[in-house]
Amino acid sequence: MGFKYLPVNLGCRLNQSELTEMEQAFKAAGGFLDKASPDIVVVNTCGVTGKAEKESRQTLRRLARLYPKARIIAWGCAADKWLREGRSDWREWGIDAVYGNENKTGHPLLFMKMIKAEKGKTPAAAGFYTKRPRRFIKIQTGCNKYCSFCLIPYVRHLSKSRPVEEVVEQVKRAEKDGVKEVILTGVDIADYGRNSPAPLKGWKEASINTLGRLLEEILNKTNIPRIRLGSINPVSFSDEFIKLFKENKRLMPHFHISLQSGSDAVLKRMNRRYTRADFLEIIKKLKKVPDVLISTDIIVGFPGETEDEFKETVEFAKQVKFSRLHVFAYSERPGIVAEKMGWKNVAKEERKRRSMVLRRVGEDLMKFWTDKYRGKKVSVLWERFRGGWLIGWSHNYLPVKQKGSKSRVGMIEEVVYKPEG
């Protein structure tokens, strides 16, 4: 008799990719997805902000009430933090076990041992994966950079990369499951291939070619139609790396590069170790890739951020002409360096105002690019069907929608771009 499981993702794409692989292990051991009465519920928690950690706790409590007979597992970043803090009150929340991020790949086996799963019986619920034509593939975890606003190095630990063969194996498996696009994800994928314990001196010196070599392996050893990079830190992209993107249509011409601030003074306080000028250099190089679009993450209201520094960020975002801005208002996080530096906090209301201002800039930039592509041909992977509309992303990550039939979900098509569909 197989076992019934329910995976719950709270957080980033890396979390999602880890859950996908847990499901592969569960299915291989005879497990199948069951939202009605699972034997085991695994929540991959998030601890990136105080709010995310609170949501993780609330979700776990709710699931423990919803599934009183199931084993409830807390996994991931918030769980890792609770373990490091030596907390045990999670037992009162109805949780059966807490697992952090160390040795994460081996945890699914431990979870199964908890419910004594039998090996080898695959139930009829096959084909779960074909519903999603895109899949996140974990290539790296951990981070050595210690930005002053971030807790991740403390909960995901030092940067570690996955062997090339394992990544290629995961991509082949995705292809077999009918996936058309893989997104290579991690905490600091620019650090791929280098398990260097010491934090890097300057990001500009970082060599990106190890990631380039991984891409080459995937291009040569699989036929996956679309390969996309997940969020990446600003690094010096080598000529070889750019050449690879220029010459391979299977590599999607879109980069999500975390800027975080457009003010050198704020970047310094964030310990980001690159300047506006460095970032512009990087953008100039990336723009050699045909059809490339670049999106980013920006934190507003970082401690000590003056109105002028904020204006610098707004101007810089316009200057770079990002295709998309993910804007985050700074949130206090006990234990992070920024909270210990005595910098004057920006009032919450003011953080909100700055987020709104920058989000509006983001909308204008997005409109600039969608208008620019109006009437042009783009390649789209249809991912979902809703209310008579096909929905997907273009090769360079523009949102695409078109009237059509559900049967085209999972197909890659060339379409004439109309922002409104």
List interacting residues with ligand SF4 (CB under 6 A): 143, 145-147, 150, 152-153, 187-188, 233
- Rounded to a whole number, what is the largest CA-CA distance in the chain? 65
Question: What is the C-alpha separation between 94 and 65, in angstroms, rounded?
Answer: 8
Closer to ligand SF4 at the Cβ: 111 or 237? 237
DSSP secondary structure letters along 101-159:
STTGGGHHHHHHHHTTPPSS---S-TTSGGG-SEEEEE-EE--S---TT--HHHHH-S-
Q: How far is the CB of 105 from ligand SF4 (least distance, A)?
A: 20
Size (the chain), residues: 421
User: Closest Cα partner for 271 from 189, 188, 338?
Assistant: 338
Q: How far is the CB of 46 from ligand SF4 (least distance, A)?
A: 13
Which residues are CB-neighbours of 351 under 8 A, at least 6 positions away? Answer: 300, 301, 329, 330
Task: Give the tokens for residue 251.
Answer: 């590599």
AA identity, residue 339? E
DSSP secondary structure letters along 376-402:
SEEEEEEEEEETTEEEEEETT--EEEE
Closer to ligand SF4 at the Cβ: 117 or 259? 259
Q: How far is the CB of 145 from ligand SF4 (least distance, A)?
A: 4
CB 142, CB 160: distance < 8 Å? yes
Q: How far is the CB of 293 from ligand SF4 (least distance, A)?
A: 21
Q: How far is the CB of 378 from ligand SF4 (least distance, A)?
A: 30
Q: How far is the CB of 142 from ligand SF4 (least distance, A)?
A: 9
Question: What is the C-alpha separation between 163 and 207, in angstroms, rounded?
Answer: 17
Q: How far is the CB of 228 from ligand SF4 (least distance, A)?
A: 19
Closer to ligand SF4 at the Cβ: 7 or 186? 186
Closer to ligand SF4 at the Cβ: 191 or 264? 191
DSSP character at residue 203: G
Cβ density class 54-78: b for 16+ within 10 Å, e for less: ebbbebbbebbeebeebbbbbbbbb
Q: How far is the CB of 311 from ligand SF4 (least distance, A)?
A: 23
Closer to ligand SF4 at the Cβ: 42 or 150? 150
CA distances from 114 to 40, 72, 111, 206 (A): 9, 11, 5, 43
Q: What angle do CA 354, 359, 361 make, to 5 degrees?
A: 100
Q: How far is the CB of 154 from ligand SF4 (least distance, A)?
A: 9
Closer to ligand SF4 at the Cβ: 187 or 266? 187
Closer to ligand SF4 at the Cβ: 19 or 150? 150
DSSP character at residue 257: B
Closer to ligand SF4 at the Cβ: 297 or 413? 297
Closer to ligand SF4 at the Cβ: 144 or 222? 144
Closer to ligand SF4 at the Cβ: 20 or 141? 141
Q: How far is the CB of 14 from ligand SF4 (least distance, A)?
A: 10
CA distances from 144 to 103, 251, 341 (A): 17, 27, 20
Question: What is the C-alpha separation between 91 and 2, in angstroms, rounded?
Answer: 27
